[in-house]
Chains A and B, each alone.
Chain A
Amino acid sequence: MTPRWALPIVAVLVSGMSVSAHAETIQISMENLVISPAEATAKVGDTIEWINKDIFVHTATARNGDWDVTMPPKKTVTLVLKKAGAIDYYCRFHPNMKATLTVGP
């Protein structure tokens, strides 16, 4: 007989597995003050890997306030997407760096 406590654990394992099976990692680079790709698509649960190849600090700042990620020079920073939407974002320090991330449900 299965002990009662085993059930929730199994449920957590299964749901955890199903998320990791579908979630993807999307790389977006910042190089020479340009974000590329300038337009990317992802889904809720996916991870964005922002790769800062520059010698400058950059940010990925959502105009709608959803997120604000800071990338030190030559570092990669990740963010797990939690909300859907078409998000325009930019670098607060170098506002000419602009891009769009469309997050599907």
Chain B
Amino acid sequence: MFVRLSAAIAAFGLLSSAALAQGAKPTDPQIAHIAYTAGVIDIAAAKQALSKTANKDIKAFAEDMVRDHEAVNKQALDLVKKLKVTPEDNDTSRSLSKNAADKLAELAKLKGAEFDKAYAANEVAYHKAVDGALETLLIPSATNAELKSLLQTGLKIFQGHEQHAEHVAAALK
């Protein structure tokens, strides 16, 4: 669990330290790409959970993740189209995707209650990391008002997910 936690946090740690090292904030096209990628990752994790779990709380939680993250990402796509911004791939998005792929592979080997616990623990850690990055880096760095507002809505809904994940994880213990 600690390994998983630190992996998730390290992904965003990389982001902050890379940005700090360059002395530059991520640009709006980069922020859009990071936020969208973070959503795609959680949707993939939820779909994996739906295909593996028999636990109804995990199932309901995963369904919530798919529904909400797809809604945010659809809005994000509409917004970048409207603003004529092309989301720009970047080191943070790449390390997020890489870590997520490793995590999917790791969780794929688990079954039953073991899988449920690992998924729930990772969702807590992941949402914590994403919420932290939104709050301290992505939202303050966004220059476009509509992008900032969408990120703020995202933060609010993901904080709810974080609470929900904590609840689910606690109930599994």
Contacts and interface: CB of A to CB of B under 8 A. Distances in A.
Contacts of A73: 71
B163 A56 contact: no
A25 interface: no
B88 to A, nearest CB: 23
Given A56-B67, A56-B68, A94 B75 contact: no
Interface stretch (B14-22, B129-137, B152-160): B152-160
Contact-residue bracket for chain B: 10 to 19
B68 A33 contact: no
A32 B67 contact: no
A41 interface: no
Main secondary structure of the interface of A (DSSP, over half): loop
Given A93-B64, A93-B67, A33 B75 contact: no
Interface residues of A, number: 11
Given A33-B160, A55-B74, A55-B75, A93 B153 contact: no
B90 to A, nearest CB: 25
A79 interface: no
Interface in A57-105: 57, 73, 93-96
Contacts of A57: 67, 71
A33 B157 contact: yes
Interface in B69-114: 71-72, 74-75
A73 B64 CA distance: 14
Contacts of B67: 56-57, 93
Contacts of A93: 64, 67-68
A55 B68 CA distance: 9
Contacts of A94: 157, 160
B68 A96 contact: no
Contacts of B68: 56, 93
A51 B160 CA distance: 21
A90 to B, nearest CB: 12
A54 B72 CA distance: 10
Interface of B: 64, 67-68, 71-72, 74-75, 153, 156-157, 160, 163-164
24 contacts: A32-B153, A32-B156, A33-B153, A33-B156, A33-B157, A33-B160, A54-B153, A55-B71, A55-B74, A55-B75, A55-B153, A56-B67, A56-B68, A56-B71, A56-B157, A57-B67, A57-B71, A73-B71, A93-B64, A93-B67, A93-B68, A94-B157, A94-B160, A95-B164
